[in-house]
Amino acid sequence: MAVTLPSAQDGVDWIFCTYCMYSPVPAAKSCLVCEASVCDSHLTAHSDSGEHVLVGPITFQENIKGSVYRKISERSCSKETHPTVEAVESGYNGIRQKIENSLKKLISNRDETEKKLQGLQRRRRQIHETSMAKRKKAAVIFGDIRRHLEDLEQKIFDEIFRQEKQASLSVYDLIQKMELEKEELTRKICHIQELCHMTNPQEVPQDPTKEEEELVDRYVDDVHEDLNLDTLYQGLSDIVTGSQRRHQPQERADILLDVHTAPDNLRIGPCSRTASITLLPINRPETPGRFRHNQVLSRVGFSSGRHYWDAETDVSGEWRLGVAYNSVDRDGDESWIGSNSKSWCLWGYYNRYYVSHDRIHTYLPYRLSSHLFRVYLDYEAGKISFYELCGSRRHLYTFSSTFTEPLHAAFYVGGTSWIVLRN
């Protein structure tokens, strides 16, 4: 097909495609990068590459190429490039923001997982420590039971040996007696045989067998004594009960002083944990439960369990601390704590120390470095113990008894002394 090209007489300077070598074809665009013009057929290759900048058909001349390229580039960048870059940057920022948000969320989840992992590890350590503590406690209990079982075993064996020895001695004595009786019987048999051979009836006794019958009627009792199994069973029961009691948790008692048992000259602190002498009588109402001496009981009594409490006393002066039945006398010489059968106490008298019960005062040859004491009560075991708390606990004395009533903490304050209950 023949193509008719415009001529120069049309007054238009035509720009032809640089790549159409065999026939001139009008250019549709010019590339500022390649400095070439392309027709519609060759435009596709340039449009597919982002490295080319296409504008309307222009003539590339050396003197105007730079200025024209700058103007066209500025116009092209301002109208085409900038919106594209902004759109790309906006999309990139949005994606980046999403990535950062996902990263923050993942980091937060990892931190939360780490916290949970640490919590589980702490829980596992706690379980292990609790298990170790239980094993140690069980080992102590079984060790205690084994020691008492060994003691009971030795006691039972000693009792068996004692019974064997006693029975053997009794049997030996009976054997000796039976040997003598056997000889006597043999002698009698010989005598009877001689009588049987006698021919004169007048020489035969009227009742020749009476004495022999009395001798033959003797018998030997069974001297074997069976082991009393009740002793064994009771011993085993005592071991179990004692082990339970010894390993029962000790409970710190919250001791509060009962102002209704305090006399007029004994001041009780506002927290009911201190007792001291006051020179001005308080004029409390008369009640049957109020002491006439400077003594006070706790509000609550104990009728079971294992309990302890701590009390601090004045360095000098006189004081007593211990336990008493609520039925203890309130007046008279026998109402003093430790001076009757219903109270037990540790007694401090100007740096000399005693333990007292039922008017029996036992001197303690101790030099105490502290005036902080602990009273320990094991009701079922019938024990009241006193300790000095001086860094380490030091045992001072233990009373053993059988309690028949609830026990209250009891205190006496003399002169300028005071007593403070410690938590």
**Structural domain includes residue 20:** yes
CB burial of 296-314 (b: ≥16 within 10 Å; e: otherwise) equals bbbeeebeeebbbbbbbbb
Same domain as 200, residue 255: no
In a domain, 90, yes or no: no
Q: What is the dihedral of CA 45, 50, 54, 59, to 10 degrees?
A: -80
What is the model's pLDDT at position 198? Answer: 67
Of the three residues 5, 26, 60, the one that is the final residue of a domain is 60
- Same domain for 337 and 402? yes
* 308 and 411 share one domain: yes
Q: Which of 227, 246, 265 is the last residue of a domain?
A: 246
The answer to whether residues 220 and 309 belong to one domain is no
Q: Are residues 399 and 256 in the same domain?
A: yes
330 and 376 in a single domain? The answer is: yes
What is the β-pairing status of strands 306-313 and 251-252?
parallel
Q: Is residue 281 included in any domain, yes or no? A: yes
Beta bridge partners, 260, equal none
Does one domain contain both 281 and 405?
yes
Please give the pLDDT value at position 298.
Answer: 96
Contact 297, 269 (CB under 8 A): no
- Pairwise CA distance, residues 374 & 389, whole Å: 7
- Looking at 14-81, list the stretches that DSSP marks H as alpha helix, in order from N- to C-terminal side: 40-47, 62-76
- Output the six-digit token pair for 421: 């209950």
What is the predicted pLDDT for the residue at 241?
Answer: 61
Pair 257, 404 in one domain: yes
Length reported for the chain: 423
Q: Please check whether residue 172 lies inside any domain of the structure.
A: yes
Burial class from Cβ neighbours inside 10 Å (0-12, 13-18, 19+) for residue 86 reads exposed
Give pLDDT, residue 246. 55
Q: Which domain holds residue 35?
A: 13-60
Q: Do 312 and 407 lie in a common domain?
A: yes
Predicted local distance difference test score (pLDDT) of residue 353: 92
Give the pairing of strands 353-357 and 36-38: unpaired
Residue pair 314/417 in contact by the 8 Å Cβ criterion:
yes
The verdict on 234 and 263 lying in the same domain is no
Spatial separation of the C-alpha atoms in residues 324 and 302, rounded to whole Å:
10
d(CA 155, CA 346): 36
Both 382 and 266 in one domain: the answer is yes
Examine the domain organization and report whether 240 and 282 are in the same domain.
no
* pLDDT confidence of residue 355: 96
Residue 138: per-residue pLDDT: 82
Beta bridge partners of 325: 407
Task: Give every CB contact of residue 381 below 8 A, 6+ residues apart in sequence.
Answer: 242, 245
Instruction: Specify if 178 maps to a domain.
Output: yes
Query: What pLDDT, on a 0 to 100 scale, did the predictor assign at position 370?
Result: 80
CA pair distance 400, 342, nearest whole angstrom: 13
What pLDDT is recorded for position 38? 85
103 vs 106: CA distance, rounded Å = 5
Does residue 112 sit within a domain?
no
d(CA 262, CA 324): 14
Distance between CA atoms of residues 280 and 66, nearest Å: 116
**pLDDT score for 222:** 45
- The answer to whether residue 237 sits within a structural domain is yes
Residue 232: what pLDDT? 66
pLDDT of residue 219: 44
Q: Which of 190, 215, 246 is the last residue of a domain?
A: 246
Residue 318: CATH number of its domain? 2.60.120.920
Regions in the chain scoring below 50 on pLDDT: 1-4, 8-9, 11, 62-69, 72-73, 75-82, 208, 212-225
Structural domain count of the chain:
3
**Does residue 115 form part of some domain?**
no
